[in-house]
Protein backbone atom coordinates (compact mmCIF):
# COMPACT_ATOMS: atom_id res chain seq x y z
CA UNK A 1 0.00 0.00 0.00
CA UNK A 2 1.27 3.45 -0.99
CA UNK A 3 1.31 6.25 1.53
CA UNK A 4 0.85 9.76 0.08
CA UNK A 5 2.97 12.44 1.70
CA UNK A 6 0.95 15.52 2.84
CA UNK A 7 1.40 18.60 4.99
CA UNK A 8 0.39 18.29 8.55
CA UNK A 9 -1.78 20.95 10.14
CA UNK A 10 1.23 22.26 12.02
CA UNK A 11 3.27 22.53 8.83
CA UNK A 12 0.44 24.38 7.07
CA UNK A 13 0.20 26.85 9.94
CA UNK A 14 3.95 27.43 9.81
CA UNK A 15 3.84 28.09 6.03
CA UNK A 16 0.90 30.45 6.42
CA UNK A 17 2.70 32.30 9.20
CA UNK A 18 5.85 32.68 7.10
CA UNK A 19 3.84 33.96 4.12
CA UNK A 20 2.07 36.44 6.41
CA UNK A 21 5.40 37.68 7.76
CA UNK A 22 6.78 38.12 4.25
CA UNK A 23 3.70 40.11 3.19
CA UNK A 24 4.01 42.28 6.30
CA UNK A 25 7.63 42.97 5.42
CA UNK A 26 6.96 43.67 1.76
CA UNK A 27 3.82 45.80 2.15
CA UNK A 28 5.57 48.94 3.49
CA UNK A 29 8.08 48.73 0.64
CA UNK A 30 5.27 48.45 -1.92
CA UNK A 31 3.41 51.36 -0.34
CA UNK A 32 6.59 53.43 -0.27
CA UNK A 33 7.20 52.71 -3.95
CA UNK A 34 3.65 53.74 -4.81
CA UNK A 35 3.94 56.98 -2.85
CA UNK A 36 7.28 57.69 -4.52
CA UNK A 37 5.55 57.36 -7.90
CA UNK A 38 2.66 59.57 -6.76
CA UNK A 39 5.08 62.17 -5.42
CA UNK A 40 6.97 62.21 -8.71
CA UNK A 41 3.72 62.65 -10.64
CA UNK A 42 2.71 65.49 -8.31
CA UNK A 43 5.97 67.30 -8.99
CA UNK A 44 5.52 66.73 -12.71
CA UNK A 45 2.04 68.28 -12.54
CA UNK A 46 3.54 71.44 -11.09
CA UNK A 47 6.22 71.40 -13.78
CA UNK A 48 3.45 71.36 -16.41
CA UNK A 49 1.56 74.16 -14.64
CA UNK A 50 4.70 76.28 -14.48
CA UNK A 51 5.36 75.69 -18.18
CA UNK A 52 1.73 76.54 -19.03
CA UNK A 53 2.02 79.84 -17.13
CA UNK A 54 5.24 80.68 -18.94
CA UNK A 55 3.60 79.91 -22.32
CA UNK A 56 0.59 82.04 -21.35
CA UNK A 57 2.97 84.85 -20.41
CA UNK A 58 4.79 84.55 -23.75
CA UNK A 59 1.51 84.71 -25.66
CA UNK A 60 -0.40 87.35 -23.69
CA UNK A 61 2.47 89.44 -22.35
CA UNK A 62 1.64 88.93 -18.68
CA UNK A 63 0.46 86.29 -16.25
CA UNK A 64 -3.32 85.82 -15.82
CA UNK A 65 -5.12 87.49 -12.90
CA UNK A 66 -5.43 85.36 -9.79
CA UNK A 67 -9.20 85.59 -10.10
CA UNK A 68 -11.69 87.92 -11.75
CA UNK A 69 -14.43 89.71 -9.82
CA UNK A 70 -17.30 91.97 -10.71
CA UNK A 71 -16.48 95.60 -9.97
CA UNK A 72 -20.02 96.31 -8.79
CA UNK A 73 -20.87 96.56 -5.14
CA UNK A 74 -17.55 97.46 -3.54
CA UNK A 75 -18.09 99.42 -0.34
CA UNK A 76 -15.06 101.53 0.65
CA UNK A 77 -14.08 100.95 4.25
CA UNK A 78 -16.21 97.82 4.51
CA UNK A 79 -14.01 94.77 5.27
CA UNK A 80 -16.76 92.41 4.13
CA UNK A 81 -17.42 92.16 0.38
CA UNK A 82 -20.98 92.69 -0.76
CA UNK A 83 -22.88 90.01 -2.67
CA UNK A 84 -22.35 91.83 -5.96
CA UNK A 85 -18.63 92.23 -5.38
CA UNK A 86 -18.35 88.53 -4.59
CA UNK A 87 -19.57 87.61 -8.06
CA UNK A 88 -16.84 85.52 -9.66
CA UNK A 89 -16.01 84.99 -13.32
CA UNK A 90 -12.71 83.23 -13.89
CA UNK A 91 -9.26 82.54 -12.43
CA UNK A 92 -5.68 81.71 -13.35
CA UNK A 93 -6.29 77.95 -13.52
CA UNK A 94 -9.10 78.41 -16.04
CA UNK A 95 -7.03 80.88 -18.07
CA UNK A 96 -4.16 78.44 -18.72
CA UNK A 97 -6.31 75.45 -19.74
CA UNK A 98 -5.40 75.84 -23.44
CA UNK A 99 -1.73 75.54 -22.47
CA UNK A 100 -2.41 72.23 -20.70
CA UNK A 101 -4.00 70.63 -23.77
CA UNK A 102 -7.44 71.45 -22.35
CA UNK A 103 -8.52 73.92 -25.03
CA UNK A 104 -11.90 72.24 -25.51
CA UNK A 105 -12.66 72.60 -21.81
CA UNK A 106 -11.57 76.26 -21.87
CA UNK A 107 -13.89 76.92 -24.81
CA UNK A 108 -16.83 75.62 -22.77
CA UNK A 109 -16.30 78.20 -20.02
CA UNK A 110 -18.60 81.20 -20.35
CA UNK A 111 -16.75 84.25 -19.03
CA UNK A 112 -19.93 86.30 -19.38
CA UNK A 113 -21.62 84.16 -16.73
CA UNK A 114 -20.83 83.75 -13.04
CA UNK A 115 -18.44 81.09 -11.91
CA UNK A 116 -21.25 79.21 -10.14
CA UNK A 117 -23.84 79.62 -12.93
CA UNK A 118 -25.45 76.59 -14.66
CA UNK A 119 -23.64 77.60 -17.88
CA UNK A 120 -20.31 76.76 -16.22
CA UNK A 121 -21.31 73.62 -14.33
CA UNK A 122 -19.66 71.22 -16.78
CA UNK A 123 -16.32 73.02 -16.50
CA UNK A 124 -16.22 73.49 -12.75
CA UNK A 125 -17.13 69.83 -12.08
CA UNK A 126 -14.56 68.43 -14.51
CA UNK A 127 -11.62 66.61 -12.93
CA UNK A 128 -8.42 67.82 -14.61
CA UNK A 129 -5.64 65.34 -13.89
CA UNK A 130 -2.88 67.97 -14.07
CA UNK A 131 -4.57 69.92 -11.27
CA UNK A 132 -4.76 66.92 -8.92
CA UNK A 133 -1.92 65.41 -6.91
CA UNK A 134 -2.45 61.61 -6.84
CA UNK A 135 -1.47 61.53 -3.15
CA UNK A 136 -4.48 63.67 -2.17
CA UNK A 137 -7.71 62.31 -0.73
CA UNK A 138 -10.93 61.85 -2.74
CA UNK A 139 -9.78 63.68 -5.84
CA UNK A 140 -12.56 62.48 -8.15
CA UNK A 141 -15.68 63.72 -6.37
CA UNK A 142 -16.97 67.30 -6.91
CA UNK A 143 -18.09 69.02 -3.70
CA UNK A 144 -19.55 72.30 -2.50
CA UNK A 145 -16.93 74.72 -1.08
CA UNK A 146 -17.39 75.84 2.53
CA UNK A 147 -18.02 79.54 1.85
CA UNK A 148 -18.61 82.10 -0.86
CA UNK A 149 -21.06 82.27 -3.78
CA UNK A 150 -20.75 78.54 -4.45
CA UNK A 151 -21.78 77.69 -0.90
CA UNK A 152 -24.80 79.97 -1.21
CA UNK A 153 -25.79 78.43 -4.55
CA UNK A 154 -24.92 74.83 -3.63
CA UNK A 155 -22.62 74.69 -6.68
CA UNK A 156 -20.18 71.79 -6.77
CA UNK A 157 -16.55 72.04 -7.90
CA UNK A 158 -13.94 69.44 -8.77
CA UNK A 159 -11.08 69.17 -6.25
CA UNK A 160 -7.63 70.49 -6.98
CA UNK A 161 -4.24 70.38 -5.26
CA UNK A 162 -2.37 73.52 -6.28
CA UNK A 163 -2.68 77.21 -5.44
CA UNK A 164 -0.94 80.27 -6.84
CA UNK A 165 1.23 82.31 -4.47
CA UNK A 166 -0.23 85.68 -3.45
CA UNK A 167 2.64 87.16 -1.51
CA UNK A 168 3.33 87.63 2.17
CA UNK A 169 0.98 88.66 4.96
CA UNK A 170 2.78 90.29 7.87
CA UNK A 171 -0.23 90.33 10.20
CA UNK A 172 -2.01 87.07 9.30
CA UNK A 173 -5.19 89.01 8.51
CA UNK A 174 -4.65 90.88 5.26
CA UNK A 175 -3.80 88.86 2.16
CA UNK A 176 -3.46 90.07 -1.40
CA UNK A 177 -6.11 87.66 -2.71
CA UNK A 178 -8.67 89.32 -0.46
CA UNK A 179 -11.28 91.97 -1.17
CA UNK A 180 -10.11 93.57 2.08
CA UNK A 181 -6.93 94.58 0.22
CA UNK A 182 -8.81 96.31 -2.60
CA UNK A 183 -7.23 99.63 -1.58
CA UNK A 184 -3.69 98.26 -1.86
CA UNK A 185 -1.76 99.69 -4.79
CA UNK A 186 -1.43 96.67 -7.05
CA UNK A 187 1.30 98.38 -9.03
CA UNK A 188 3.52 99.39 -6.11
CA UNK A 189 5.42 96.08 -6.10
CA UNK A 190 6.26 96.64 -2.48
CA UNK A 191 7.80 94.23 0.02
CA UNK A 192 4.73 91.96 0.35
CA UNK A 193 3.88 91.90 -3.35
CA UNK A 194 3.59 88.59 -5.24
CA UNK A 195 3.32 87.38 -8.79
CA UNK A 196 -0.41 86.86 -8.15
CA UNK A 197 -2.12 89.61 -6.17
CA UNK A 198 -5.52 91.07 -5.41
CA UNK A 199 -8.55 90.05 -7.52
CA UNK A 200 -8.73 91.71 -10.91
CA UNK A 201 -11.77 93.66 -11.96
CA UNK A 202 -13.86 91.99 -14.63
CA UNK A 203 -13.58 94.82 -17.14
CA UNK A 204 -10.08 96.16 -16.76
CA UNK A 205 -7.93 93.35 -15.24
CA UNK A 206 -5.46 95.60 -13.37
CA UNK A 207 -2.93 93.93 -11.13
CA UNK A 208 -1.69 91.30 -13.58
CA UNK A 209 2.06 90.87 -13.44
CA UNK A 210 4.97 90.09 -15.75
CA UNK A 211 8.16 88.18 -15.06
CA UNK A 212 10.05 91.40 -15.75
CA UNK A 213 8.60 92.81 -12.52
CA UNK A 214 10.38 90.16 -10.42
CA UNK A 215 13.31 92.03 -8.95
CA UNK A 216 14.11 89.21 -6.51
CA UNK A 217 14.95 86.78 -9.34
CA UNK A 218 12.72 84.14 -10.94
CA UNK A 219 14.77 81.32 -9.38
CA UNK A 220 14.04 82.74 -5.91
CA UNK A 221 10.33 83.46 -6.29
CA UNK A 222 7.50 80.98 -5.66
CA UNK A 223 4.78 80.65 -8.29
CA UNK A 224 2.40 77.77 -7.45
CA UNK A 225 2.46 75.17 -4.67
CA UNK A 226 0.60 72.31 -3.05
CA UNK A 227 -2.35 73.05 -0.78
CA UNK A 228 -4.60 70.41 0.76
CA UNK A 229 -6.28 69.45 4.02
CA UNK A 230 -7.06 66.15 5.70
CA UNK A 231 -9.96 67.70 7.64
CA UNK A 232 -12.82 70.08 6.82
CA UNK A 233 -12.41 69.44 3.10
CA UNK A 234 -14.85 72.22 2.23
CA UNK A 235 -11.75 74.42 2.58
CA UNK A 236 -9.62 72.34 0.23
CA UNK A 237 -8.48 73.58 -3.18
CA UNK A 238 -11.14 73.66 -5.92
CA UNK A 239 -9.32 74.43 -9.16
CA UNK A 240 -12.12 76.27 -11.01
CA UNK A 241 -13.50 78.22 -8.02
CA UNK A 242 -12.50 81.88 -8.34
CA UNK A 243 -13.58 83.06 -4.90
CA UNK A 244 -10.66 84.42 -2.86
CA UNK A 245 -8.43 81.71 -1.43
CA UNK A 246 -9.64 78.44 -2.99
CA UNK A 247 -6.99 78.63 -5.73
CA UNK A 248 -4.77 81.25 -4.08
CA UNK A 249 -2.71 81.07 -0.88
CA UNK A 250 -0.27 83.38 0.86
CA UNK A 251 2.71 83.18 3.18
CA UNK A 252 2.65 83.93 6.90
CA UNK A 253 5.31 83.41 9.54
CA UNK A 254 3.28 80.59 11.11
CA UNK A 255 4.37 76.92 10.88
CA UNK A 256 0.75 75.76 11.29
CA UNK A 257 0.06 76.83 7.71
CA UNK A 258 2.18 73.90 6.41
CA UNK A 259 0.34 71.10 8.25
CA UNK A 260 -2.23 70.25 5.58
CA UNK A 261 -4.88 69.98 8.30
CA UNK A 262 -7.42 72.80 8.46
CA UNK A 263 -9.03 71.91 11.81
CA UNK A 264 -5.69 71.39 13.53
CA UNK A 265 -4.44 74.69 12.11
CA UNK A 266 -7.48 76.56 13.47
CA UNK A 267 -7.23 74.83 16.87
CA UNK A 268 -3.57 75.83 17.20
CA UNK A 269 -4.51 79.51 17.02
CA UNK A 270 -2.30 82.44 16.09
CA UNK A 271 -2.38 85.86 14.50
CA UNK A 272 -5.35 86.10 12.19
CA UNK A 273 -7.17 83.21 13.87
CA UNK A 274 -8.52 81.00 11.04
CA UNK A 275 -7.61 83.36 8.18
CA UNK A 276 -4.07 81.98 7.57
CA UNK A 277 -5.49 78.44 7.67
CA UNK A 278 -7.79 79.26 4.76
CA UNK A 279 -4.71 80.34 2.82
CA UNK A 280 -2.44 77.52 3.93
CA UNK A 281 -0.29 74.96 2.14
CA UNK A 282 0.46 71.28 2.74
CA UNK A 283 0.44 67.84 1.16
CA UNK A 284 0.14 64.15 1.95
CA UNK A 285 3.81 63.57 1.14
CA UNK A 286 6.12 62.86 4.02
CA UNK A 287 7.99 65.93 5.21
CA UNK A 288 6.88 68.72 2.92
CA UNK A 289 5.30 69.91 -0.34
CA UNK A 290 6.22 70.81 -3.91
CA UNK A 291 6.42 74.33 -5.34
CA UNK A 292 7.18 75.46 -8.85
CA UNK A 293 9.21 78.66 -9.04
CA UNK A 294 8.92 81.43 -11.59
CA UNK A 295 11.87 80.02 -13.54
CA UNK A 296 9.96 76.76 -14.01
CA UNK A 297 12.02 74.68 -11.58
CA UNK A 298 10.21 72.48 -9.04
CA UNK A 299 11.44 72.33 -5.43
CA UNK A 300 10.31 70.15 -2.54
CA UNK A 301 10.16 72.46 0.49
CA UNK A 302 10.43 70.87 3.91
CA UNK A 303 7.46 71.59 6.18
CA UNK A 304 9.95 72.83 8.77
CA UNK A 305 11.24 75.53 6.41
CA UNK A 306 12.04 78.80 8.11
CA UNK A 307 8.82 80.81 7.86
CA UNK A 308 10.65 84.10 7.32
CA UNK A 309 12.53 82.57 4.39
CA UNK A 310 9.27 81.20 3.01
CA UNK A 311 7.66 84.62 3.24
CA UNK A 312 10.58 86.21 1.43
CA UNK A 313 10.36 83.63 -1.35
CA UNK A 314 6.68 84.53 -1.80
CA UNK A 315 7.44 88.13 -2.83
CA UNK A 316 8.67 89.46 -6.17
CA UNK A 317 10.25 92.75 -5.19
CA UNK A 318 11.05 92.71 -1.50
CA UNK A 319 14.78 92.58 -2.29
CA UNK A 320 15.28 90.13 0.58
CA UNK A 321 18.16 87.68 0.72
CA UNK A 322 16.22 84.52 -0.07
CA UNK A 323 17.31 81.41 -1.96
CA UNK A 324 15.00 78.46 -2.53
CA UNK A 325 16.33 75.34 -0.75
Q: 291-311 burial, b for 16+ CB within 10 Å, e for fewer?
A: bbbbbbebbbbebebebebbb
pLDDT of res. 176: 74
pLDDT of res. 81: 41
pLDDT of res. 291: 97
Q: In what order do the strands lie in the sheet with 162-168?
A: 248-251, 162-168, 222-226, 288-293, 298-302
CB 46 within 8 A of CB 292: yes
pLDDT of res. 185: 54
| Residues 81, 91: Cα–Cα separation, whole Å | 18
pLDDT of res. 121: 97
Tell me the three state secondary structure of residue 157: strand
Rounded to 5 degrees, φ, ψ at 91 are -155, 180
pLDDT of res. 74: 37
pLDDT of res. 80: 42
Which of 102, 95, 81, 114 minimizes the C-alpha distance to 182? 81
**Each residue's pLDDT expressed in tens, for the chain with a length of 325 residues:** 555 566 677 767 777 887 877 777 766 665 666 878 899 999 999 999 999 999 999 998 888 888 877 643 333 333 444 444 456 788 999 999 999 999 999 999 998 888 999 999 999 999 999 999 999 999 999 999 999 889 989 999 999 999 999 888 888 888 877 655 555 555 555 556 667 765 555 444 555 788 888 888 899 999 999 999 999 999 999 999 988 899 999 999 999 999 999 999 999 999 999 999 999 999 999 999 999 999 999 999 999 999 999 999 998 876 666 677 7
pLDDT of res. 76: 35
Amino acid sequence: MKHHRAFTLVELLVVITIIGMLIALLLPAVQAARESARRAQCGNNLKQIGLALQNYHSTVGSLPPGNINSAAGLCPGNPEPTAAYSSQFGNWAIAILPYLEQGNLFDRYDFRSLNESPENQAVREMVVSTYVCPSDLDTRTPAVPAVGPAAAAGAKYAPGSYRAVTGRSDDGCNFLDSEMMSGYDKHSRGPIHAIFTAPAWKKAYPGVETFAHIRDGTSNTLLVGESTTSTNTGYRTFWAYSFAYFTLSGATAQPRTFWGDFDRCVAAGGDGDSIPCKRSWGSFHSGGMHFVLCDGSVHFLNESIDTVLFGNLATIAGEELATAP
